[in-house]
Amino acid sequence: KQRDPHQAVFHQAVEEVFTSLTPFLAANPHYAGQGLLERLVEPERVIMFRVPWMDDAGNVQVNRGFRVQMNSAIGPYKGGLRFHPSVNLGVLKFLAFEQVFKNGLTTLPMGGGKGGADFDPKGKSDHEVMRFCQSFMTELFRHIGADTDVPAGDIGVGGREIGYLFGQYKRLSNESASVLTGKGLSYGGSLIRPEATGYGTVYFAEFMLATRNDTLAGKRAVVSGSGNVAQYACEKLLHNGAQVLTVSDSDGFVYFPHGMTEPQLAALKELKNERRARLAVYAEEQGLPYHQGLRPWHVPCDLALPCATQNELDETDAAALLANGCICVAEGANMPSTIAAADAFIKAKILYAPGKASNAGGVATSGLEMSQNALRMPWPAEEVDRHLYNIMTNIHEACLQHGRQNGFTNYVDGANIAGFVKVADAMLAQGIV
């Protein structure tokens, strides 16, 4: 905190992990030495660079680009790129730190990294986004590679942006390596990658419910966000018999009094992914109530799936969810619950999965995209989905193994300890580097 006093979300992420680790380290002192914790919180490398580009009016704009290469103990750095005006070094260090443990949980050989820029794609033309992506990659390309660092998407970086970034990478490097994941199907992408994070989050919710002999059928789910993760979380919830009551964006939330229907989901995807319009427009078009400036957590529900952004669910929201009878929270976003909210869920002994466990299906399927690229052979959707399902099963098992406490599973402790053990063993084996 003294070294980087302004990186509050990074401190929050570290505090959450180290709180889980404290009793574990006391019982397993060989993990407490060799500066392991000090090394875990210090990125192996941070790259920060200027991204100049020209807007449609001919003005030069300058953004700040980053790549945080956090930890490569178990494989090449892997983690998304975020384009959002709130991006700064502290946000990316938090995301890269989380990614290290998450990637450890997937059982695949991927280290942790994260990057992005304080660029806001909202309201920009396709040409502006393309020029920005090309300028961003003109610096980034020298720092990444199929065996070095393999970025993917995150907030503000979807299929369109990955396409522009990949095109520029290829042009500069003269290589068609598996250097980005989330690619389009026609140039090396994997089936099920767009769906993976949302699907995986819902699989995880199902596994948690099964520990209490319960299922998704008939459950009322409140979802936040309306981007990639939220859309496919809604899709899997609908397929598995749950009711979706809300989706949101940064301006407010839409309420589905009778539950979202398949045509309403299709219309949401079209609005967000093709027209890139706002939810207020969607609510109007669908004749649904829109709650401007509010988050969806006060809507009575059985399940909550925060799929938007960090710290979008605080102590007051947690109290409302609990008072309304919510029995399960599965995080699709990274660190959407504040520490106080997470503590409230654990104290109430409801089923609560932290993002690094429940949203790991996205990066896991990115790992599967890398495997398919290396084989030069795409797998059918069923095969990728089967791997995804198995990986989520294994993550859930790892959480049970490390998080069971007197008949209750603390999934936060389980995920943090299981991820730590994998990375720590590799770091100890590789010496002090």
Q: Report the interface residues with ligand NDP, using CB under 6 A.
A: 153-156, 158, 197, 225-230, 249-251, 307-309, 312, 332-334, 359, 362
Closest CA to 346 of 300, 413, 392, 401: 413
Residue 251 or 270: the one with the smaller Cβ distance to ligand NDP is 251
Q: Name the active-site residue from 78, 93, 114, 272.
A: 114
Q: Which is nearer to ligand NDP, 151 or 362 (CB)?
A: 362
CB of 309 to ligand NDP, least distance (A): 4
Active site residue 114: yes
φ/ψ of residue 120, rounded to 5: -110, 105
Residue 255 phi/psi, 5-degree rounding, is -110, 130
Taken in order 367, 136, 336, 26, is the CA torsion positive or negative?
positive
Compute the least distance from the CB of residue 109 to ligand NDP, in Å: 18
Please provide the distance, in angstroms rounded to a whole number, between the alpha carbons at the two ends of the chain. Answer: 23
Which residue lies nearer to ligand NDP by CB, 133 or 229?
Answer: 229
Based on CB atoms, which residue is closest to ligand NDP, 53 or 199? 199
Asked if residues 157 and 151 have their Cβ atoms less than 8 Å apart, the reply is no
Chain position whose Cβ is nearest to ligand NDP: 227
Q: How far is the CB of 375 from ligand NDP (least distance, A)?
A: 22
In the bound state with ligand NDP, the residue whose beta carbon lies nearer, of 37 and 152, is: 152
Inter-residue contact 316 to 241 (CB < 8 Å) = no
What would the two tokens of residue 278 be? 């706002």
Q: Which tokens is 21 given?
A: 């680790």
Lookup result for tokens 């209750």: 408
Smallest distance from ligand NDP to CB 272, Å: 7
Taking the complex as a whole, the smallest distance from the CB of residue 197 to ligand NDP amounts, in Å, to 4
d(CA 97, CA 71): 8
The answer to whether the CB of 305 falls within 8 A of the CB of 201 is yes
- Residues belonging to the active site: 114
